[in-house]
Structure formats: structure tokens, C-alpha cells
Amino acid sequence: MQTMDLQINRWGNSLAVRLPQELLRQLGDVHEGDRIQVEALGPARLGLAVDGQALQRRRAWLQALQQLHAHMPVTQPVSRDEWGRY
């Protein structure tokens, strides 16, 4: 993985770092709202890790949704004319 220089910006009373799209692609399965774990590794050094439990919950939810979909009965398509009656 490559090193990136990111700028620290003010966000209310806090400071924030934006994660560029290129970095997110390298991280893989990371989305808005995910939580990360941050560790101070020493003066001016941080360690970041994506919350593995959140990823496991999302994968379990997706698997449950796929299983539900597999057991749903196939029905006749609804035409636009039929849809307008409801």
C-alpha cells in the first residue's frame, strides 16, 4: 500500500481527516457510517483499523437477505396498468 498525505481540517470543535476515494478502494469493504478504531502509537503517530465487528454484522445481514430472497416465491410480473389500480 502506498502512503498518502492527508490534510487535517476543522469540523465544529473537532479536527477531521477526509479519506479519499483511492484510499477507500484500497481498504475494500468500507462504507459511510462504518466505525474505525484509532490508536495513538506514539508522538504524532496514529494507527487506524476498520471495526471488524461492523463488517461481520453487514456480511451476516447480507447473507440473511440472500437466504430470504432464495426462499421467496416467484410471482407473475405486474404490468403498469395493474400497478395503477393499487
Q: Where are the beta strands (DSSP E) in the chain?
A: 8-11, 14-17, 36-42, 45-50
Residue 80 lies in a domain: no
Give the model's pLDDT for residue 54. Answer: 67
Q: Give the pLDDT confidence of 54-82 residue by residue, as tens digits.
A: 667 777 888 888 988 888 888 877 777 77
Of the candidates 52, 46, 65, 63, the residue with the CA atom closest to the CA atom of residue 8: 46
Residue 1 lies in a domain: no
Residue 86 lies in a domain: no
Residue 2 lies in a domain: no
pTM of structure:
0.51
Domain count, the chain: 1
Query: Per the structure block, which three cell numbers stand in for 34?
Result: 462504518
Give the model's pLDDT for residue 73. Answer: 86
- Model confidence band, residue 29 (pLDDT cutoffs 50, 70, 90): confident
